[in-house]
Chain A
């Protein structure tokens, strides 16, 4: 059956990438980040979410099978 790690990994990679790019695009927008204690929280959260997504993908069955074949 479906290995849930694959959709989870894919979703968090996409969401993480979106937030990471948004964080990069809004770098220097100080008023926007005043509420998050002057930290570009999008950048940090984006990196973290992307890393989690990629890790899940890496350990998912479809990816592991493909790597075994090669």
Chain B
């Protein structure tokens, strides 16, 4: 089938207005970039609501948006676990218990917190892996975007790759982290406004939620599931075989709800950096909670339309189809763009495509700004050129380095995008490997923050071995029906999982458990390296309790957290 569609002048006009504003924000902020901390930390001056929206916008990259709509089609409403149980508890925990240490310790990055709490080598291990991961990740998503634009809009692959990279480079070079954060807020709103017409039209077309449920019944039964297996979240998770995701409820709770989500939301500097840029301690603690509120409603925009797409696929009268790959398999990631094509006429279509471009840019700018900070502070300043003590000269110097790093980071990402276009499998594998970094990191940071006894050597070993255990698990298991070693089993297959998702969950659970266990054992066997006084501001029990009595009750983090919790419980019950 023909997947191509042409945009018209009006669509390009809308896109052009967006580009002008994105670059204009960078331009307007350039005069504030007087030193390294303004450029790399946004001068710790961002209002809570701005940082909160940027917090989830960074996560809402193009691969995320495309992947989630595709998963909606593939796994139905179970995909919402990634937005509810798989994000909200972790975000609340970060806000209430962890932010005060990240923010209050005056660490400028997550690796730097590891240095303050543990030691230099733990920081180094995390900083190098993180820096490598972020530039490669932005390369991979750049590749995915360029290939999508080529396949669907007929744009030249090289032109769209280089142009999108150039725009992100321009505004992050000019305005640093502030520019990335401010643009993420703009991008957040354009993602919502651009995708909303499609989300509403598709639901009207399938007859609303009730109509969709009725039409899905026979389709889903044909796949061997209960008729409402695609429109429920927890109902069929008693056994793995009864739901399309192939995971039991405890796998979802432990794998997604605990290890994967806490690993991602509480320790990934890409995300935490947004909260660390907040203007005050109270603001920093509110950032994840403010982000959590829109986060819970994003499934209505990108997952439920994917579920509805399954109805369209099975109704020949709708003329809806997905493009197929060389092996004849449908490309699920293209669901959202085929939905935009299906429902949007010229005008709003331009807005919809702009939304996809915006999601790409928010993801990539997030990577670039996090890479900058980690490279400049945790690698360059630590190993290549330590601070001289002359504060002003140092700030100037590191500002220059931060700027150069922005350019180099984008260039490396472009190179990674071209490597991905030649060896797609290697990049898939790298992405899998990088997903193994977070679970052990969470184990180590969690023990560091809440157990004063944990030591530097233990943390380093836990981090390293947890990562190796994750690799080992991936090498010894594979999902059923996998045809490449990229999916696992490259050391020989000891266990086969029904689906890839289950394998991912268990990889993370093994990595987390081994890292936690090892950190505890080695800590108990070794001497404490830091005194109680040195741990003040770094460890929960060694730090005075925060006093919120000067904050109005409805602005206190605990109150916001309660609202978030109630909304999540209501949504979970409604879509049980």
Contacts and interface: CB of A to CB of B under 8 A. Distances in A.
A63 interface: no
Per DSSP, chain B at the interface is: helix
A30 to B, nearest CB: 11
Interface string A28-70: 0000110111010110111011001000000000000000000
B348 A19 contact: yes
Interface residues of B, number: 32
Nearest to A16: B193
B351 A45 contact: yes
Contact of A45 (B13, B29, B45, B348): B348
Contacts of A44: 197
Contacts of B28: 2, 7
Contacts of A41: 197, 201, 343-345, 347-348
Interface in A1-34: 1-2, 4, 7-8, 10-12, 14-15, 18-19, 22-23, 26, 32-33
A10 B204 contact: no
Contacts, number: 90
Interface in B30-63: 32, 45, 50
Contact of A36 (B32, B196, B343): B343
Given A11-B18, A15-B18, A41-B201, A4 B182 contact: yes
Given A1-B32, A4-B185, A33 B193 contact: no
A39 B347 CA distance: 13
Contacts of A14: 17
B428 interface: no
A5 to B, nearest CB: 9
B345 A15 contact: no
A1 B197 CA distance: 34
B189 interface: yes
Contacts of A19: 10, 14, 347-348, 351
A15 B14 contact: yes
A42 B347 CA distance: 6
Given A8-B189, A37-B343, 18 more contacts: A1-B29, A2-B29, A2-B182, A7-B24, A7-B182, A7-B186, A12-B189, A14-B17, A15-B17, A15-B351, A18-B10, A19-B347, A26-B345, A32-B346, A37-B201, A41-B197, A42-B345, A45-B348
